[in-house]
């Protein structure tokens, strides 16, 4: 059954939900400033604490601790892979691009060139109840970048 | 009077419910014939809200088409007919739990009914209600007791009452299986206890609590009792006099009625001694610019224009349930509940909350799936047309106590078949393989 379900839970998502890149908060060791954000979805209890180190305008490292559904956990994992090493401004652009896709109710397909593995979450935008799950880590990164800036 | 139409299906009273008859009952519920995601709807979320039979839908529509008028106000014919229909519904719902009509107060839902009592008690604490409201006064040195398995609706109003009055909120703990631990109960329910509020049947565990024992413990120390009957009144015969509780709350939408209507039962002498919560029109006798005198119960607690059509529809729901027979419904759902628990327990990686297979429970089961989050379980089932509830089911402290944050809950009602339960079980067996859970 190449079903709606398989479009929602693409293999990349299922794999990342198990592997969880970046899971486990890292203490800052090198240079740069740290930003941290805690996000909670009160509807389902999904939770994430995400820590970023920004060094010379670059997202130097990203780590997180979280509990939640496959979509929220996979999203945090994919985010980690995608963002590490990017310019801060580029990271913010990607967050905005991802949010636009998620809020589109399936009308805006993700550009794989831009969003990489995160394009696998396109199907989530058709399930308004799950958009928050996919966005959780991205909002946490957005906030922690601001925190690292201040 | 033709106010509340009889149920469409008339049934022999004694024969136990069986699939053949349940299939006929299903015809009374239009929504059960619909599809979800291209699959026939398998509705296993009646613990959250139940579906409505045609007789309930028609009662509400008939009111608006033929009798719509304000009740207890005005002398024109429509107003009289509306009032008659409204009060007949009150009598039907009161009779359904063996209460007198004047002991049944309409509220928006069970949550509002609990808040009504909690706010009446803090109004008493503030000196309202005079000497006769003494029993309801709470303050420093007093305790309010609940259990660890309560729905937030029967927890937070008491937290707030304690915070407003300086009383202390205490609770009866549950064990690892979710059963109430009563060994130390006399250390919690003490002469300082003003009220013991507890659920009859748990919306998460499916446990049926020992009401008689808890009422005895409360009476021994002179405490009031409030029973949250949201998950019992819809599913088993409930008799307030036999249970001997002081207050009981129920929600209409969980017992085939519409949303927006619930009820508070209170023993007559208590209701008439309790200061009102909401105040305004329709609950008074004499009003001056300085003060007002209040009607006796139930009207003293029904300020403002009431939920008339919803009350009438709930009356029709109570009649539908009565005519089907609550003993038969209880037995049928017991069967469905047992099938759920046995089937779920047999699936690898599933942990069912609450009483083990073979022990009494209402027809619901909440469970954890190892390696798969409840939201993903719910999404997986929804794709097959199966509606279940996922999350903490408004019982965060209980989930925390059991070491969980979210579970999946399947809850049945009189209109569910064993085939639906089996279809659900088969679907659940596919969850861990789909997500590659190890
Ligand atoms: C045990 C229990 N108590 C209270 C409630 C609250 O009911 P309502 O939201 O209709 O007021 C519910 C419903 O979710 C329940 O299951």
Q: Tens of pLDDT along B415-426?
A: 999 999 999 999
Distance between Cα B110 and ligand 1 center (Å): 6
| More confident site: B138 or A28 | B138
Q: Tens of pLDDT along B310-361?
A: 999 999 999 999 999 999 999 999 999 999 999 999 999 999 999 988 888 9
User: Within 10 A of B124 (CB to CB), how many other CB atoms are there?
Assistant: 24
Q: Return the closest-CA partner of residue B388 out of B419, B410, B364, B416.
A: B410
CB distance A121 to A76 below 8 Å = no
| More confident site: A48 or B73 | A48
CB distance B430 to B347 below 8 Å = no
CB distance B408 to B431 below 8 Å = no
Round to whole Å and give the CA distance between B83 and B89: 10
Round to whole Å and give the CA distance between B366 and A127: 24
Q: Following DSSP, what letter does each residue of B357-402 receive, concatenated?
A: TTS---SEEEEEETTB-HHHHHHHHHTTTEE-EEE-TT-HHHHHHT
Q: Which two tokens stand for residue B320?
A: 């539908």
ipTM: 0.90
Q: How far is A103 from chain B (nearest CA, A)?
A: 19
Q: Tens of pLDDT along B9-36?
A: 554 556 889 999 999 999 999 999 999 9
pLDDT confidence of residue B343: 97
pLDDT confidence of residue A150: 65
Residue burial A78-92, b: 16+ Cβ < 10 Å; e: rest: bbbbbbbeeebeebb
Backbone angles phi, psi at A55, to 5 degrees: -130, 115
Give the DSSP letter of residue B296: P
- For residue B154 and ligand 1, the question of a CB distance below 6 A is answered with yes
Q: Tens of pLDDT along B105-129?
A: 999 999 999 999 999 999 999 999 9
Pairwise CB contact (< 8 Å): B391 & A5: no
Q: Active-site residue numbers of B?
A: 394
Closest CB to A5 among B374, B383, B436: B383
- Mean pLDDT taken over chain B: 95
Residue owning the nearest CA to atom 14 of ligand 1: B48
Instruction: Provide the percentage of residues in chain B whose pLDDT is more than 70.
Output: 97
- For residue B228 and ligand 1, the question of a CB distance below 6 A is answered with yes
Query: Half-sphere exposure (CA, 13 Å, Cβ side) for B407?
Result: 27
pLDDT confidence of residue A43: 78
According to CATH, the topology of domain A4-149 is Sufe protein. Chain: A (3.90.1010)
Inter-chain contacts counted by CB atoms under 8 A, chains A and B: 45
Query: CB of B390 within 8 Å of any CB in chain A?
Result: yes
| More confident site: B159 or A110 | B159
Domains in chain A: boundaries: 4-149
Q: How far is B435 from chain A (nearest CA, A)?
A: 6
Q: Tens of pLDDT along B194-232?
A: 999 999 999 999 999 999 999 999 999 999 999 999 999
Q: Assign B390 a pLDDT band (cuts: 50, 70, 90).
A: very high
Residue B1 has pLDDT above 50, yes or no: no
pLDDT confidence of residue A2: 52
Q: Tens of pLDDT along A104-148?
A: 998 998 999 999 999 999 999 999 989 999 999 999 999 999 999
Residue B8 has pLDDT above 70, yes or no: no
Q: Tens of pLDDT along B235-286?
A: 999 999 999 999 999 999 999 999 999 999 999 999 999 999 999 999 999 9
Q: Following DSSP, what letter does each residue of A85-106 receive, concatenated?
A: T-BHHHHHHHHHHHHHHHTTTT
| More confident site: B122 or B6 | B122
- Mean pLDDT taken over chain A: 92
Pairwise CB contact (< 8 Å): A70 & B392: no
Query: CB of B393 within 8 Å of any CB in chain A?
Result: no
Q: Tens of pLDDT along B76-90?
A: 999 999 999 999 999
pLDDT confidence of residue A136: 97
Pairwise CB contact (< 8 Å): A69 & B376: yes
Task: Report the residue of A1, A3, A5 to disrupt the B interface, i.e. the one with the largest count of B CBs within 10 Å.
Answer: A5
Distance between Cα B56 and ligand 1 center (Å): 20
Pairwise CB contact (< 8 Å): B435 & A133: no
Pairwise CB contact (< 8 Å): A9 & B376: yes
């Amino acid at each position: 059954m190449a079903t709606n379900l398989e479009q929602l839970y693409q293999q990349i998502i299922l794999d990342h939900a198990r592997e969880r890149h970046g899971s486990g908060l890292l203490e800052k060791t090198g240079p740069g400033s740290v930003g941290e954000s805690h996000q909670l979805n009160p509807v389902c209890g999904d939770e994430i604490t995400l820590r970023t180190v920004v060094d010379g305008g670059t997202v130097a490292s990203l780590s997180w601790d979280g509990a939640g559904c496959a979509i929220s956990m996979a999203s945090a994992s994919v985010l980690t892979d995608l963002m590490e090493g990017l310019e801060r401004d580029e990271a913010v652009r990607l967050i905005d691009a991802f949010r636009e896709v998620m809020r589109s109710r399936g009308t805006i397909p993700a550009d794989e060139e831009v969003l990489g593995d995160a394009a696998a979450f396109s199907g989530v935008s058709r399930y308004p109840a799950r958009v928050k799950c996919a966005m959780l880590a991205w909002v946490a990164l957005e906030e922690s970048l601001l925190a690292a800036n201040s | 009077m033709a106010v509340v139409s009889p149920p469409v299906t008339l049934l022999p009273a004694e024969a136990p419910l069986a699939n053949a008859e349940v299939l006929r009952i299903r015809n009374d519920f239009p929504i059960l014939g619909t599809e979800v995601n291209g699959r026939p709807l398998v509705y296993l979320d009646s613990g959250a809200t139940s579906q409505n039979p045609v007789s309930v839908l028609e009662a509400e529509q008939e009111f608006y088409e033929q009798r719509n008028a304000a009740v207890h106000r005005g002398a024109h014919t429509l107003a009289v007919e509306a009032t008659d229909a409204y009060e007949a519904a009150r009598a039907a719902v009161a009779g359904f739990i063996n209460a007198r009509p004047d002991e049944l107060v309409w509220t928006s839902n069970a949550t509002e009914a609990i808040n009504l009592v909690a706010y009446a008690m803090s109004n008493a604490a503030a000196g309202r209600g005079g000497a006769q409201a003494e029993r309801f006064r709470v303050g420093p040195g007093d305790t309010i007791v609940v259990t660890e398995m309560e729905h937030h609706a029967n927890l937070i109003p008491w937290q707030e009452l304690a915070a407003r009055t300086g009383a202390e909120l205490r609770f009866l703990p549950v064990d690892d299986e979710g059963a109430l631990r009563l060994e130390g109960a006399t250390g919690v329910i003490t002469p300082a206890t003003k009220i013991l509020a507890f659920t009859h049947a748990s919306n998460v565990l499916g446990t049926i609590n020992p009401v008689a024992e808890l009422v005895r413990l409360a009476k021994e120390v002179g405490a009031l009792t409030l029973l949250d009957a949201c998950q019992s009144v819809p599913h088993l015969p409930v008799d307030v006099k036999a249970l001997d509780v002081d207050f009981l709350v129920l929600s209409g939408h969980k017992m085939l009625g519409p949303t927006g209507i619930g009820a508070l039962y209170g023993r007559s002498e208590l209701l008439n001694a309790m200061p009102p919560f909401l105040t305004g029109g329709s609950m008074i006798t004499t009003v001056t610019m300085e003060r007002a005198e209040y009607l006796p119960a139930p009207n003293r607690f029904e300020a403002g224009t009431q939920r008339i059509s919803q009350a009438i529809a709930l009356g029709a729901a109570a009649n539908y349930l009565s005519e089907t027979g609550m003993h038969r419904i209880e037995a049928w759902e017991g069967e469905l509940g047992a099938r759920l628990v046995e089937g779920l327990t047999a699936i690898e990686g599933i942990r069912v909350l609450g009483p083990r297979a073979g022990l009494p429970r209402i027809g619901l089961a909440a469970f954890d799936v190892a390696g798969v989050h409840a939201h993903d379980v719910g999404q997986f089932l929804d794709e097959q047309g199966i509606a279940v509830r996922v999350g903490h089911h408004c019982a965060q402290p209980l989930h925390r106590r059991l070491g969980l944050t979210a579970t999946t809950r399947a809850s049945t009602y009189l209109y569910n078949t064993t085939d639906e339960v089996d279809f659900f079980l088969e679907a659940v067996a596919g969850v861990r393989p789909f997500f590659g859970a190890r």
